[in-house]
Amino acid sequence: MRRETKDHRRERLDQIRAVLKSVYPDAHCELTFRNPLELLVATILSAQCTDLNVNRVTATLFKKYLTATDYAKAPEEELARDLRSLGLFRNKAKNLKAACQRIEERYGGEVPRSMEALIELPGVGRKTANVVLGNAFGLEDGIVVDTHVLRLSRRLGITAETDPVKVERSLVTLVPKGEWTQFSHWLIWHGRRRCAARKPDCLRCELKMLCPSASREKP
């Protein structure tokens, strides 16, 4: 089979974007938040955990802890108890407390608005930083690459990379800036609603005519 050129891949991706935009016009971040701090907290807690479970925990958590200072001053064991229904809750409590201490000490209690500052916070990598920048501040420094974006980018033949950072680098050269945040929402929603990891619904998939993996996946 002839290898697809970057121009052909971009043209096919343009078609994929158009379909996803049509199918998921209301796609958005499904973590519940009212401000940048709440989104940062929720995203830190979402590691290896569903948004639904995170939202159940933060419904109570956000009533108890209102500011970065509240998290910074909370005893780590108490914070861990508040997160105990989530996976890795002890490590998340440690990172959350440390991140909020740094926010309080260096940024006056306000979540910083740059990639460089965010990724220096404990428990925060590029994915979390991109989530916060794009959804809390409307700033696009890159594209969120979570498990859904990583999986679908490969299945759809957009990239052959397996490292999230390299996948992001590939995507930002193909997706127009201004659509970076929304593109990740489209892929995440499609991954959750149609293209599951173990059993993708290829028969009913809106992208099956554009997906090089569809013919090889069994419904």
Which member of 127, 199, 201, 208 is catalytic?
127
Quote the tokens at residue 91. Answer: 């490590």
Pairwise CA distance, residues 40 & 119, whole Å? 11
Pairwise CA distance, residues 205 & 155, whole Å? 13
Task: Answer yes or no: 127 catalytic.
Answer: yes
Q: Could you tell me which residues come within 8 angstroms of residue 99 by beta carbon, excluding any fewer than 6 positions away?
A: 40, 44, 71, 121, 122, 123, 124
DSSP 69-131: HHHHHS-HHHHHHHTTTSTTHHHHHHHHHHHHHHHHHHHTTSPP-SHHHHTTSTT--HHHHHH
Which member of 70, 146, 163, 218 is catalytic?
146
Pairwise CA distance, residues 29 & 83, whole Å? 21
Task: Answer yes or no: 51 catalytic.
Answer: no
Pairwise CA distance, residues 25 & 22, whole Å? 6
| SS (HEC) of 10-36 | HHHHHHHHHHHHHHCCCCCCCCCCCCH
Quote the tokens at residue 139. Answer: 């700033």
Active-site residue numbers?
127, 146
